Structure 1
């Protein structure tokens, strides 16, 4: 078990001396009157606050066990306002900004968007409450950084960490990777997989051997969806991460700064991924519903065992690797792709992309400030972050302190590892998975140490979890991968992980002309990408690729590419700087 205490020591001088309580410009204003948060909020009058959350995938009044915790502690209900659900891009945001009231609690992007809201008077200065907070001030350096140049505290960064920025912010699994149905791969005799393209004949053999899932429906090696398409086809971007790339607009940038690619170039990793899908489809390996289904429909197919390859652990493993399936030797594990150098995000020294703020017109800002501070407490971190982020949920329900450290309760095992469970009435009732926080952010990275236990927040990093989840699936995987106990251990020990130092870089907002061109170009790229992925042969693929290049060039692609290339290189400079400073 890796300890983060030594790392915390490196950051401690910053956290100790950069106190915001005596600052101007980027901290508590000199004339701010402190406001005590030490109150019995449960006895206060009930309130409902509007939470404008750019990350939420649910809209409406929060319900379930997380809502009950918030109600019991603060006598407060959360009305989630979610642009992701409402649709229309920035329309909802712009409409509410124009009204002068975005929300009481606001979760939005730092950088230019936060600046816009601060300058527009839509955010409340939290400086008066800062001195009374018990948890947030532990991260003074990050908070000072995000509020630099402002006369007050207008945003608290998310995903805070004491882990070095050159270390991955993931736990036992990286965000990306070629996770396949290991039991079917074992049946095939563990064939060697040298490159991305070598996955195809292996997947073909697996699918041919198991043409139907247990529910009697067809199995497919690959299933796709369109919901998250943006500057490109999101499922076209995923295979590029296996070789250390991540997106910056229309650019693929390697984590170590050694390469930058235009996604429409014929030799780009993105076009390579589209060709991979086209060849897979010719082989009958792609789910024909891919062009019309949404993420939820696709996820249900993974749950039913109808899909054999997943680019994310929180898709294949989350959906199918139940405790019972793993006991039966069934489930998703990362494949031994010989040339992979998987992209991994480094821990963010100054927090993630989003910040938490209080709306300027909030009627009870002190209570909201107390709620924000609680979100950064050990109890709040575990309760708010979802299980896909590694959090274990509320102590006493899903986990408890054991003699050798924290461990999942019987209920926790059922709820998290066995596919779900109904919550006891005293905890709010309903299905556990439906009752979690809809805020959809982690205040502190789950790999960080919980000071109340001395172990990471993530239950997957607890010794008790590692000891009790050993099963035929993971044991067989470990035996054939050289003995590692986790995916991360396998990748790191074999030099197959590329970490992008966590520099907390904020991409500048596009100028209006660039934004207009980008919207036209990305729509064309996405349209052609899907056509290329389902082209009937090589000739059609090449023809569509040429059409895409000609079309986007005519729309002004080069102008936007220049912006994205500059941003990608600036991001790398920030990564190099933070690695030199903290690494």
Structure 2
């Protein structure tokens, strides 16, 4: 998704010629008086996976509150994101509300082209947006403007940048079919490499129990590959090295930078792990040809035993019935792991929400955006998979002590079950009628001032109390009584939190971009080829030959650019950490 956002603005250079067109329609005085009548608002949303008019209960909520109908324009759906952006930019009207990335000069370009409005005159009258002035100021600086409010960053947070942004589950982690891990006696796993014989035992046990040989410990996929084989980034994250910039892996502490192709680095270690697993017969043979969706279906069918992420294995397989039967994915502990975790970002991410320069009734649009940052708006517009509880009174409510809980309807709705919304709330299927904006305005781990607990319903005591299935209880007994994965990791000092800072690498020289394109193709091919070799000696030879070829293409030139950017990113993280600590002491 983040790569698509960049593509959406790739052709932004043409916008200079349409600046005057955009500016002539963007004068607030020309908007006239807002009579409050119904208006259709076009939302150019580079994150949305839906195009067209918002329907259902969220549409009714917005209509009732603002007399607005949202019409979403989504490059993700339309295809050719850059073309769509260029076409609308050339017409001088990108949209009434714009959701897009600010990195790589994007914010500066849309401001200079006159495609977004300065909404500073409305901010003082907002209830929520003005609370994020620091984040707004940073975006203004990113847009290379000395003043004005040109957009509102998203995923803003009141938490410290050194506090994990994750709720009950980390982004990364070694998640396994716990029932088969139990079946082989819960063996201790000292290092990543020690996981291999454990997975072999689990695979043997699963095949015997199910009476089939099409169950594999690991299943891989290609369609998320970018700078390199995407699956290879996951194991470094178990040791504090989250995916960095280009061909550099950097650790959470910011004191180590590794080249992706370094023979002794964490990324090549991951490739060697995959290769050894392949030699042991643990890798799904369709890994080289399948996409994510095909692989996901195998998790649902119980055909894969290891998951890099909780939102893969658990989402696909951990149904209530399976959990009550003691079956499902849970994290096992690797003795020497320290999992990389992204810290909260007080100033938000590089994605921002802006008002189009040509939009009518800007004040009403600002009020709508302000509502998206309100407690009600956060829960109603957020993604249920990320812990948004939906609409109070329908999917959730508070008890006599003021503590939040999911209603019976809400339990079914947030689990993805098809449920019909009562007519008074708009009718239709709940999931279909949920917000299609696909944007998180405020971090869901932040505290809802109305309840005193996190917005994320998965962190509510009422939900944690439900972790009493056979699977949950068995896992908890072997994890020191921890109720959740994050509780275990935090209490055992197994998190490496990367300070949350907004950073975007600058535009690079066209020559470097051309070299990067050649290098990228060779690196991706080399990774897959090396993983599927039949011996350690063959792996070493294939990888050595590949590295020689990659280096001959100019890899070091690209790496040096990425290294410089990685060090700037570390400096930005340190700066936001120190800034937060300074403000906290005032």
> 1:45 pairs with 35, 38, 53, which one?
38
Q: Report the equivalent of 2:563.
A: 565
Q: Report the equivalent of 2:272.
A: 275
The answer to whether the Cα contact below 8 Å between 2:467 and 2:473 also exists between their aligned partners in 1 is: no
The answer to whether the Cα contact below 8 Å between 2:31 and 2:360 also exists between their aligned partners in 1 is: no
The answer to whether the Cα contact below 8 Å between 1:422 and 1:429 also exists between their aligned partners in 2 is: no
The answer to whether the Cα contact below 8 Å between 2:200 and 2:280 also exists between their aligned partners in 1 is: yes
2:259 matches 1:262: yes
Given the superposition, is the C-alpha separation of residues 46 and 34 from structure 1 closer, same or farther in structure 2, using an over 3 Å criterion? closer
Shift of 1:290: 2.3
Matches within 5 A, 1:94-243: 94-111=86-103, 112-148=105-141, 149-211=145-207, 218-243=214-239
Q: Report the equivalent of 1:70.
A: 62
The answer to whether the Cα contact below 8 Å between 2:31 and 2:361 also exists between their aligned partners in 1 is: no
CA offsets 1:443-467 (integer angstroms, 9 cap, x no match): 0011111112121100111111111
TM-score, length-normalised on structure 1?
0.88
Gaps (5+ residues) in structure 1? 1-31
For residues 568 and 391 of structure 2, the distance between their equivalents in structure 1, rounded to whole angstroms, comes to 40
TM-score, length-normalised on structure 2?
0.87
Given the superposition, is the C-alpha separation of residues 515 and 461 from structure 1 closer, same or farther in structure 2, using an over 3 Å criterion? same
Q: Report the equivalent of 1:308.
A: 305
Question: What SS class does the counterpart of residue 499 from structure 2 fall into?
Answer: strand
Given the superposition, is the C-alpha separation of residues 539 and 69 from structure 1 closer, same or farther in structure 2, using an over 3 Å criterion? farther
CA offsets 1:529-582 (integer angstroms, 9 cap, x no match): 222222233333223322332232232221111111011111111222222232
CA offsets 1:222-265 (integer angstroms, 9 cap, x no match): 22222222112221111111010122111001010121111012
2:458 matches 1:460: yes
> 1:57 pairs with 4, 29, 49, which one?
49
For residues 460 and 267 of structure 1, the distance between their equivalents in structure 2, rounded to whole angstroms, comes to 39
CA offsets 1:194-246 (integer angstroms, 9 cap, x no match): 11122222122212222389898932222222222211222111111101012
For residues 130 and 160 of structure 1, the distance between their equivalents in structure 2, rounded to whole angstroms, comes to 16
Gaps (5+ residues) in structure 2? 1-26, 582-586
For residues 32 and 302 of structure 2, the distance between their equivalents in structure 1, rounded to whole angstroms, comes to 50
For residues 332 and 74 of structure 1, the distance between their equivalents in structure 2, rounded to whole angstroms, comes to 43
For residues 79 and 202 of structure 2, the distance between their equivalents in structure 1, rounded to whole angstroms, comes to 39
The answer to whether the Cα contact below 8 Å between 2:275 and 2:532 also exists between their aligned partners in 1 is: yes
Question: What SS class does the counterpart of residue 100 from structure 2 fall into?
Answer: strand
Q: Report the equivalent of 1:547.
A: 545
Given the superposition, is the C-alpha separation of residues 492 and 552 from structure 1 closer, same or farther in structure 2, using an over 3 Å criterion? same
Shift of 1:487: 1.1
For residues 370 and 522 of structure 1, the distance between their equivalents in structure 2, rounded to whole angstroms, comes to 44
Shift of 1:392: 1.3
Question: What SS class does the counterpart of residue 210 from structure 1 fall into?
Answer: helix
Given the superposition, is the C-alpha separation of residues 37 and 549 from structure 1 closer, same or farther in structure 2, using an over 3 Å criterion? farther
Aligned length: 548
Given the superposition, is the C-alpha separation of residues 221 and 436 from structure 1 closer, same or farther in structure 2, using an over 3 Å criterion? farther
For residues 139 and 215 of structure 1, the distance between their equivalents in structure 2, rounded to whole angstroms, comes to 57
For residues 400 and 256 of structure 1, the distance between their equivalents in structure 2, rounded to whole angstroms, comes to 41
Given the superposition, is the C-alpha separation of residues 266 and 473 from structure 1 closer, same or farther in structure 2, using an over 3 Å criterion? same
For residues 81 and 402 of structure 1, the distance between their equivalents in structure 2, rounded to whole angstroms, comes to 39
Matches within 5 A, 1:320-469: 320-404=317-401, 405-417=403-415, 419-426=416-423, 427-469=425-467
Given the superposition, is the C-alpha separation of residues 89 and 34 from structure 1 closer, same or farther in structure 2, using an over 3 Å criterion? closer
Q: Report the equivalent of 2:11.
A: none
CA offsets 1:43-69 (integer angstroms, 9 cap, x no match): x224141x2222223334333433343
Q: Report the equivalent of 1:81.
A: 73
The answer to whether the Cα contact below 8 Å between 1:37 and 1:367 also exists between their aligned partners in 2 is: no
Instruction: Decide which moves more: 199-208 or 530-539.
Output: 530-539
CA offsets 1:68-92 (integer angstroms, 9 cap, x no match): 4334433434333333344446444
Given the superposition, is the C-alpha separation of residues 416 and 241 from structure 1 closer, same or farther in structure 2, using an over 3 Å criterion? same
The answer to whether the Cα contact below 8 Å between 2:380 and 2:435 also exists between their aligned partners in 1 is: yes
Shift of 1:311: 1.2
